[in-house]
Every structure is written in structure tokens, then in C-alpha cells.
Structure 1
Amino acid sequence: MSEATAEDQLRSHTRAALQAAGISQAEVCRQIGCSTKYLSQMLTGHATLTLTWAEGILGLAGQRLVIGTQPDEPGSST
């Protein structure tokens, strides 16, 4: 089984944040200025969810995007 990519994880977290905040996709689109089709595509992986879009969407859900790094685990493959 393969690990989810960073983009997959960001999409999943963004969808969950919207659901937890009770914000509809239509409301997100009204506030950030995109079509519901495009938002749906970003949240399902049919379009790229950029950090800029994710930041705006998460902000509407009362969250902020934080990006970090950490060292590889000893013995992990790159």
C-alpha cells in the first residue's frame, strides 16, 4: 500500500475542515471567487489544490495552513 502524497493529505484535511466547520462548497466558492466545479475538482484531485487556494479555503473553516519539514527517519528510503 502506498503512502498518500502531500497533496492528497492536504486535500483530505481541507475537505474534513470544511465538513467540521459546516461550510458548504457553494459558500466557499462565493467567498473565494471560484466555480463550484473547480472547487470540487481541487478537492477530489482532478485539479491541483495549490497552497494559495488551500490557505484561503482553510481560512474560511477557521484554520490556518502551516507548512513544516522534518528530518528523514533513520533507514528510510528517499
Structure 2
Amino acid sequence: MTEPTAEEQLRTHTRAALEAAGLSQAEVARQLGLSTKHLCQMLTGHATLTLTWAEGILGLAGQSLVIGTCPDDSEDAA
């Protein structure tokens, strides 16, 4: 089983944040000046969810986007 990509993880978290905040995609799209269709496409992977858009969407849901790094634990990372 393959691990989800960073973009897939970002989409999953963003959708969950909207749901937890009780925000509809239509309301978020309106506030961000997007079409509901384009927002839906970003959240389902049919359009790229950029970090800028994710930050705006998450902000409306009361969350902040934080990006970090961590060491690679794989044996061949040395």
C-alpha cells in the first residue's frame, strides 16, 4: 500500500477542516472569489490545490497552514 502524497494529505486535511468548521464549499468559494466548481476540483484532485489556496481555505476554517521538514528515516538516506 502506498502512502498518500503531500498534496493528497493536504486535500484530505483541508476537506476535514471545512467539515469540522461547518463550512460549505459554496460559502468558502464565495468568500474566496472562486467558483464552487473550481474549489471542488481543487479539493478532489482534479485541479491543483496550491499552498496559497490551501492557506486561504484553512484560514476560513479557523486553521493555519504550517509547513515543516523532518529527517528521512529510511536506511538509504545516509
TM-score by structure 1 length? 0.95
Q: How many residues align?
A: 77
Q: Deviations over 1:2-51 (max 9, x none)?
A: 11000000000000000000000010011101000000000000000000
Corresponding residue of 1:17: 17
User: Corresponding residue for 1:26?
Assistant: 26
Moved over 2 A (4+): none
Identical positions, percent: 77
1:48 maps to: 48
Q: Which whole-Å CA distance do the structure 1 matches of 2:52 and 2:76 have between them? A: 30
Q: Tell me the TM-score normalised to structure 2 length.
A: 0.95
Report the 3-state secondary structure (helix = DSSP H, G, I; strand = E; otherwise coil) of the residue aligned with 2:66.
Answer: coil
Q: Which sections of structure 1, spanning at least 5 residues, go unmatched?
A: none
Q: Secondary structure at the match of 1:16?
A: helix
